[in-house]
Chain A
Amino acid sequence: MATYIIRRLLGLIPTLFVITVIVFLMMHAMPGNAFESLVFNPKIKNADALYKHLLAQNGLNQSLPVQYIHWLGNILQGNLGNSWSMQAPVSQLIATYLPNTLLLAISAEVIILIISIPIGLYQANKVNGSFDVVSSFIAVFLYSIPSFVFALLLLFFFSFSLPWLPQSGTVTPAVSWSGDFGDRFQHLILPALALALPQLASYTRLTRGNTLQVIVADFVRTARAKGLRSRRILFRHVLRNGIIPVITQFGFDIGNLFSGAVIIENIFTWPGMGQLSISATISRDYPLILGTTLLFAVMVLIGNLIADILLAAADPRIRLG
C-alpha cells in the first residue's frame, strides 16, 4: 500500500507542472498588469519611463520561461501575490476562506454517500419493486434540477415559508450562542443539502446499476447456496464490490462538487472559496482569480489521489496490478 501511495504521489508531479504552466499562461493572457494604470496618472511626470523602469525592476520585461521560473519559485514559497481588490496577500485570503469551502464540500459528500448508497442498494435488492420505481422516478427529477435552483427552493420553503433554518452566513452574529456547534450545524444544513441533492440522484443510480451487475455474480450465488442470510450477502459481498465504481465516480466528481460549491456559496453568502473567486472575477482581481484557480486544481488533484487510495484499499487488484 505504501509503495502504491508513493508511486501515485510521484505521478502527480508532471500533472502539477502542466497545471502551473496553464495557470501561468492564463495569467499572461489576462489584460493589464499592476503598473499600467500609472501611465494614465496625470500627476506622474515621465510616466512611460517610470512604467518601463518598474517593469524591469519587477522582472516583467523578461522572457516568458524566465518569468515562469520566478513565479513558480514564489508559488513554492507560498507567495501567490497580492489581491488588488482586498488589499491582502492571496495566500492569506485563501487560508481564511478555504476551511469553510472544505466544510461545505465534505458535508455534502457525506450526505450524498450516506443517503445514496443504502437507497441504491435497497433498490437493486428489490428491483422493479414499488420502492425502486418510485424512487427512480424521483431521482430523474432530482438530477434535472440544478443546485442553485435547489438552493432558491430550499431557501423559500425552509427559511422563509417555514422559518426553521437561517438563510445566510456560517454563524448567527451577535448572540450568546453564536459560533457553537448547534449554531454552525444549523447554518450548514441548507447549503450542504442544496449541493448534495442533484448529485444524490446520480449516485443512487450508479449504486443501483452496479449492485444489479454484482448481484448476479457467481460468488453471490455461492454465498446464497451455502445458506448465508441475505442481509449478510448484501452488506458483506455485494456492497464491497458494487461500491468500487462509486469511488471512481467520486474521484471524477470532486471538481463538480467545487463548481457547485462556488455557486451555492454565493447564494447563501457562505464565506468560502466560491465567494472569493466570484468576487475576484467581478472586480477583475487577476492575482486572486489565478490563486483560486490554481488552488481549485490542486484540491481536485488531492481529491483524486484520495479516491485512488480508497479504490486501492477497496480493490487489492488495483494496488498490486
Chain B
Amino acid sequence: MSTDISNKRLATVQRRPAKGKSPFRLAMERFMRNPLAMTGTVILFMIIIVTVFAPWFTHWSPSTPDIFNTDSGPTAAHLLGTDGTGYDNLARVLYGGRVDLTVAFAAALMTMVLGTVYGGVAGYFGGWIDNLLMRFVDVMLNFPFISLVLALEAIFNTSSEWVLIMVVGLTSWPAPARMMRGVFLQLREQDYVVGAQTIGASRIRIIFRHMLPNSLSMLIVLVSLSVASYVGLDAALSFLGLGVPPSTPSWGGILNTYSDYVSLATKPYAWMPPVIMIVLTILSVNFIGDGLRDAFDPQSRS
C-alpha cells in the first residue's frame, strides 16, 4: 500500500510543468563550472577545516609553551620548530588562522552592512541627501586607511580581536558605500522599481523587496573581494604589533616574532608557513570573488 501512495505522489510531481531556473541558481551553476573558482573554494574550505579543527592536527596547545624545547628547529615532536618562548609553531599557525579568518569575515560583514546602509540611503533618496552623504565619503577617502587605523587604535587604547574588527569596520566603509550608492542610483531608474512606485509600494518595501535582492550579487562579490584584502590587512597590523595582542596566536603575529633580520635569514621553516597560509587564503578568496563576479555578470568577463 505504502509504495503505491509514494509512486502516485512521484507521478504528480513529475506532471508539473518544468520550472525555469532562478538567476541565482544559474549563476551558481556557472560558478560551479569555473575551475579556478572551484579550486579556490576547495582550498579555502581546507584552510577553514584545518583551523577550526586544529586540535585534530596537532596535540600542542598554542598557548602552553614547551619550556624544555625553546627556539628549536624542526624536530619530530615540533614539525615547524618552536619559538623563543617554546610555543609550537605548527600549533600557532593552525590556531592562528581562527583569529585571522574571524577578523577578516567579521570586518567584511561589518563594512558591508555600514556601506550598504549608507550608500543605499544616498543612492535611493538622491538629491541633497546624496550630495551631503557623498561629500563626507569623499573626505573620509582622503585619509589613508592605515593612518585612520592607527589613530583609532590609539583612541581605543587596547588591543583585541573585537577592537581590530571595529577599527577595520569603522575605517573601510566609505569605498563600499560609494559603490552601493552607484548600484542603488542605477536600480532606482529600473522599470520594476518605477512600476512598484506606481502601484504605491512603500519605500521600505521597494528597498528591501526589490532593490536589495537585485544588488545582492554585487554585494556578494564585494564581500568576497574585501575578505581577501582584510586577511592581508589583519596580518599586516598584527605583524606591526598593532593587531591582536601577542598572546593570541595569529599569522601576522608569528611573522612579527620572526621579523628580525637573523630569524628571517636563518629560520624560513618558521616564517614561511604563515606566509604560505596568508597567500593561499587571499588567493583562494580572490579566485572565489572573481568566479562569483563572472557568474553573476557573464558580460563582465573580458
Contact = CB atoms under 8 A, between A and B. Distances in A.
Interface of A: 14-15, 18-19, 22, 26, 29-31, 140-141, 143-149, 152-153, 155-156, 160, 167-168, 208-209, 212, 252, 255-256, 258-259, 262-263, 266-267, 277-278, 280-282, 284, 286, 289-290, 292-293, 296-297, 300-301, 304
Interface of B: 135-136, 138-139, 141-148, 150-155, 157, 228, 232-233, 235-236, 239-242, 255, 259, 261, 264-265, 268, 271, 275, 278-279, 282-283, 286-287, 290, 302
Contact of A156 (B240, B268, B278, B282): B268
Given A284-B157, A293-B143, A146 B282 contact: yes
A55 to B, nearest CB: 21
A30 B155 contact: yes
A141 B290 CA distance: 13
Given A15-B138, A152-B255, A144 B150 contact: no
B174 to A, nearest CB: 10
* Residue from B151, B264, B287 with most neighbouring chain A CB atoms (10 Å): B151
Contacts of B282: 144-146
B154 A300 contact: no
Contact of A168 (B136, B261, B271): B261
Given A30-B154, A156-B268, A259-B144, A144 B242 contact: no
B143 A296 contact: yes
Given A146-B278, A259-B144, A297-B143, 20 more contacts: A15-B139, A30-B154, A140-B287, A144-B286, A145-B282, A149-B278, A152-B255, A152-B275, A255-B142, A256-B145, A258-B147, A259-B147, A267-B259, A280-B150, A282-B242, A284-B154, A293-B143, A296-B143, A297-B144, A304-B142
Contacts of A256: 144-145
B155 A293 contact: no
A286 to B, nearest CB: 7
A278 B240 contact: yes
A286 B283 contact: no
* Residue from A30, A152, A280, A290 with most neighbouring chain B CB atoms (10 Å): A152
Contacts of A152: 255, 259, 264, 271, 275
A258 B146 contact: yes
Nearest to B143: A297
Nearest to B239: A148
B240 A266 contact: yes
